[in-house]
Copies of this chain bind each other. A is one copy, B any other.
Amino acid sequence: MSSTGEAPRKNRGPAAAAENRQALIDAARDLFAEQGFSVPFSAIARRAGVGQASLYRHFPDKVAIGVAVFEENLRLLEARPVGLHDFLVSIADQAKVSASLLEALVTSRSPLAEDLAVRLSAIITDMIARDDLPPGTTVDDVQAAVSMVAFHTAAAPTPDAAERAIAIVERGLRAL
């Protein structure tokens, strides 16, 4: 009974929990990038190579895992702050993921999501100061710009969509 076994995947005990969680988050990010937020929730478990119930144990629904991906992205931003332009470009580069995460954040009512919103505000507040945005520029203004670039670029078919969108909103923010 304790031979090499041919079991499809062993129950490796609690130790595997963290690994699984990370695999799920990575799979979700990939799938959001490829297919947008409308991927089947169960596809995430498949892609991660993890059982369905484990997915549900870690994340009760798609929004929850979206929030978790968001958290990772935020951590990167906190570690290495960027200016407005670079921020918008990175949003557009990952337009489908960005749009997915915004959907998740807006949809979620969890305290974790609240926390993320606060941390994002802090990042943006900092960015406004460091990047010489006109006085009066609010966090909400920048968030709106981000959302507009993300959703438009995710939906637009042409390759120059991102560039054009960024140009417009950046001018709109700076030309106060």
Binding site for B on A (CB under 8 A): 38, 102-103, 106, 140-141, 144-145, 147-149, 151-152, 155-157, 160-161, 164-165, 167-173, 175-176
Whether A141 contacts B168 by the Cβ 8 Å rule is yes
Interchain CB contact under 8 A, B155 and A151: yes
Q: Which of A141, A164, A176 has the most CB of B within 10 A?
A: A164
Do A164 and B144 contact each other (CB < 8 Å), given the known contacts A157-B106, A169-B169, A171-B171? yes
> How many whole Å from A26's CB to the nearest CB in chain B?
25
State A111–B169 Cα separation when bound (angstroms). 32
User: Once the chains are docked, how many angstroms separate the CA of A140 from the CA of B176?
Assistant: 23
- A169's partner among B102, B103, B151, B168 (CB-CB below 8 A) is B168
Chief secondary structure at chain A's binding surface: helix
| Contacts A/B (CB < 8 Å), 26 sampled | A102-B155, A103-B155, A106-B157, A140-B160, A141-B164, A144-B152, A144-B156, A144-B161, A144-B165, A147-B152, A147-B155, A148-B148, A148-B152, A148-B169, A151-B152, A151-B155, A168-B169, A168-B172, A168-B173, A169-B172, A170-B172, A171-B171, A171-B176, A172-B172, A172-B173, A172-B175
Shortest A7–chain B CB gap in Å is: 12
The 8 A-B pairs of least Cβ separation, nearest first, read A172-B172, A151-B151, A148-B148, A175-B175, A168-B172, A171-B172, A148-B152, A147-B152
